[in-house]
Amino acid sequence: MSNTLSGSEAADRRNNWESFKILLETDSDELFSESDGKGWTARLTDVVKLAVSVEDTGIGIPLPAQHRVFTPFMQADSSTSRTYGGTGIGLSISRCLIELMGGEIGFISRPGIGSTFSFTALFKVGQAGAEGDSDLLRGARLPTHFKGMKALVLDGNPVRSVVTKYHLQRFGIEVDSITSSKVALSMLNGMDGFPAEGCSVKDGIDMVLIEKDAWGPGTGLLFPSQVRVGLFPRGPFLQSKGLLKMILLATSLTLEETQKAKAAGFAETVILKPLRASMLAVCLQLALGFCNRREHLREPLKVSSPLSNVLSGKSILVVDDNIVNRRVAAGALKKYGANVICTDSGKSAISMLRQPHNFNACFMDVQMPEMDGFEATRQIRAAELANMECTSNGGETLVTNNRWHVPILAMTADVIQATHEECLRCGMDGYVSKPFEEEQLYKALAPFFDKESLVR
C-alpha cells in the first residue's frame, strides 16, 4: 500500500496521508471566531480558496500529449485502432468554469502510474444555520424506508470503505466494514472466527456491498460465488428469509465484468460511483426488491409525444465506451418506449449488426478506443453492401433490395462541421449531439420510421 489517500501509487506524491493529517489537525480558531452566538465568521477574510485534487491509477498521459489535454476532443492517439480514448470536451469546459470562479487547474501525469488533476476555486464563507441549510443538514430529503436495515461493506481500501459506510448511514442503515477477505468469508459461510473484532452487527444482515476492486483489480467480482460454496442458514449473519443480497460497487464496469458479476450471484443492479444519495437510494430499492412495493416508488412517468409514437416498440442499439453515456442515452430512449441494447465498442457493434439482426436503428459514439465510430460504420456498411440483392437491366446493375440498411446516427458532443461531414462520408445517416433533446431526436429518427421507409 502506498502512502496516498487512495492507497495506490499516485502521480502527485504530495497528496499523501501526512499532508492530509496536517489539514485535519489545523485548529479552526486560527481562521474563524464566534460572533453574536449565531454562527462563525471569518476573522481574517470572508473568502476561502478551496483546493481539490482528483487522482487516478490509469495509464497516465504520454508526455508529448500533455500540453494538449485542455484542447477540446484531443486524442493522445488519433488512430482508429487506438487503445484508449481522449479528453472529449469536459476538461476544456472545466478550465473555463474554474477560471470564472477565480481559480486555476493543472495536472501531474506519470505514464504507467496515472494522473492527478488539481484545481482551486474561491468561495465566500457562509454562516452555519443560515436560511436554507437546516433541511440539508438534517437530511430531511433522504429516504426513510431503509432505516433499521443492516449492511456489511467489504473493501480492502479503508478510505473507500469509510466513504461507502458514511453514505449508507445517512439512510439510517447500521453498517460495519471488513477489509479482510478471509474474515468476510469466514463470517458469511458460518465458520469459526466471527463476529470479527469491532463488528457490531450481530443479529443478521440485509445486504452485503462489495467493492469490485476490493483486494486488487476485479477481485471482488467472484466473492459471492465463494460465499455460496459454504453457505449455511445457521450463520448469524444471514437473513432468516433467504440468502444474502450481494450488491456490487464499481467505478466502471465492462460487459465482460457485468457477465462475471451476474454469474457469481450479484444482484442485477450495480451501484456506480461516485456515490450520490438519490442514485444510491434508487439502486438499493431495485436491488432489494422495493420496486414491487407501491409505497416505496412512484408509478413511472408516462410520456405522450410524437417521439414516443416514433420510438414505441423499436429496437435501438446504443454504442459508447463510457458506461455513464450509455445509461443516459438508454434512459432517454426508453422514456419514449424504445427497447434499448447497449454495447461498449465498435467491434461489438459490428458483430451485433451482422445480418440478420432485429435492430431498427443504431446510435454510434464517434470517439471510442480500439475502433472509433467512423470505422465501425464503414465496416457495417461494407457488410450490408455485400448482402444487397441486385438485378441487371441492360447491363446496368440495380439495387432491388436493401432492407438490411440500418440507420446509424452519430452520437457526440463534438458539433463542428468537419465532424458532421466525416459522419456522412463514412456512411452514417444522421447526427445527434449530446445530451439528447426531444425535438432533435424526433427530427433525426422520424424520416426512417414512417410507414414508407420503415426499416424492417
CA atoms within 13 A on the CB side of 337: 13
Instruction: Calculate the alpha carbon distances from 71 to 68, 86, 121 in Å.
Output: 5, 10, 21
Task: Give the residue among 104, 105, 8 at the shortest CA–CA distance from 56.
Answer: 8
Question: With contact defined as beta carbons under 8 Å apart, do 257 and 264 qualify?
Answer: no
Average pLDDT over residues 410-430: 79
* pLDDT value at 91 more than 90: no
Provide the CATH number for the domain formed by 17-124 in this structure.
3.30.565.10
Question: With contact defined as beta carbons under 8 Å apart, do 296 and 290 qualify?
Answer: yes
Between 157 and 414, the more confident residue is 157
- Predicted confidence band at 128 (pLDDT cuts at 50, 70, 90)? low
* pLDDT value at 135 more than 70: no
Q: Phi and psi at residue 14, in whole multiples of 5°?
A: -70, -25
**Which residues are registered as beta bridge partners of 246?**
208
In the chain, what is the straight-line distance between the N-terminal and C-terminal CA atoms, in Å?
Answer: 56
- Predicted confidence band at 119 (pLDDT cuts at 50, 70, 90)? very high
| pLDDT value at residue 351 | 93
* pLDDT value at 339 more than 70: yes
The most confident of 156-160, 228-232, 371-375, by mean pLDDT = 371-375
DSSP letter at 36 equals: T
Grid coordinates belonging to 169: 448511514
Instruction: Calculate the alpha carbon distances from 423 to 14, 79, 343, 450 in Å.
Output: 44, 16, 20, 23
* pLDDT tens, position by position, 240-259: 334 578 999 998 888 788 88
| pLDDT value at residue 1 | 53
Average pLDDT over residues 11-18: 75
Determine the 3-state secondary structure of 423 from DSSP: helix
Average pLDDT over residues 400-428: 77
Cα 365 from Cα 293, distance rounded (Å):
37
| pLDDT value at residue 203 | 54
Before 435, cis peptide (omega within 30)?
A: yes
| pLDDT value at residue 45 | 63
* pLDDT value at 402 more than 80: no
Before 356, cis peptide (omega within 30)?
A: yes
User: Residue 229: is it exposed, middle or buried by C-beta count within 10 angstroms (0-12/13-18/19+)?
Assistant: exposed
| pLDDT value at residue 426 | 93
- pTM, two decimals, is 0.50
* pLDDT tens, position by position, 349-370: 999 999 889 899 999 998 888 8
Question: With contact defined as beta carbons under 8 Å apart, do 101 and 121 qualify?
Answer: yes
Cα 229 from Cα 22, distance rounded (Å):
46
Between 203 and 185, the more confident residue is 185
User: Residue 46: is it exposed, middle or buried by C-beta count within 10 angstroms (0-12/13-18/19+)?
Assistant: exposed
Between 71 and 373, the more confident residue is 373
State the chain's maximal CA–CA distance in angstroms.
98
Task: Give the residue among 226, 440, 207 at the shortest CA–CA distance from 336.
Answer: 440
| The CATH fold of domain 136-292 | Rossmann fold (3.40.50)
Q: Do domains 17-124 and 136-292 have the same CATH topology?
A: no
Cα 452 from Cα 391, distance rounded (Å):
22
* pLDDT value at 175 more than 60: yes
* pLDDT value at 238 more than 50: no
* pLDDT tens, position by position, 277-301: 888 888 888 888 775 444 433 444 4
Q: Write down the mean pLDDT value for the chain.
A: 75
| pLDDT value at residue 106 | 92
User: Which residue type sits at 354?
Assistant: R
**Where is average pLDDT lowest: 105-114, 125-134, 312-321, 372-381?**
125-134
Question: With contact defined as beta carbons under 8 Å apart, do 123 and 47 qualify?
Answer: yes
| pLDDT value at residue 35 | 45
- Predicted confidence band at 415 (pLDDT cuts at 50, 70, 90)? low
Between 55 and 173, the more confident residue is 173
**Where is average pLDDT lowest: 284-288, 304-308, 317-321, 428-432?**
304-308
Question: With contact defined as beta carbons under 8 Å apart, do 408 and 380 qualify?
Answer: yes
Question: With contact defined as beta carbons under 8 Å apart, do 182 and 192 qualify?
Answer: no
Q: Beta strand 408-412 with 361-365: parallel, antiparallel or unpaired?
A: parallel
Domain ranges for the chain, please list them.
17-124, 136-292, 306-449
**Which residues are registered as beta bridge partners of 390?**
399
**Which residues are registered as beta bridge partners of 421?**
none
Q: Beta strand 114-124 with 174-178: parallel, antiparallel or unpaired?
A: unpaired
Of the chain, the percentage scoring pLDDT greater than 90 comes to 21
* pLDDT value at 136 more than 70: no
Cα 122 from Cα 87, distance rounded (Å):
25
Contact residues for 162 (Cβ-Cβ < 8 A; gap 6+): 177
Average pLDDT over residues 94-119: 91
Cα 446 from Cα 371, distance rounded (Å):
29
**Where is average pLDDT lowest: 217-226, 300-309, 429-438?**
300-309
Angle, helices 158-169/277-288, rounded to nearest 10 degrees: 80
Supply angle C-alpha 416, 62, 326, rounded to 5.
50
Cα 79 from Cα 96, distance rounded (Å):
28
| pLDDT value at residue 348 | 93
| pLDDT value at residue 222 | 86
Average pLDDT over residues 417-421: 71
Between 361 and 124, the more confident residue is 361
Average pLDDT over residues 428-445: 81
Rg of the chain taking only CA atoms, in angstroms: 26
- Predicted confidence band at 44 (pLDDT cuts at 50, 70, 90)? low
Cα 227 from Cα 152, distance rounded (Å):
14
Provide the CATH number for the domain formed by 306-449 in this structure.
3.40.50.2300
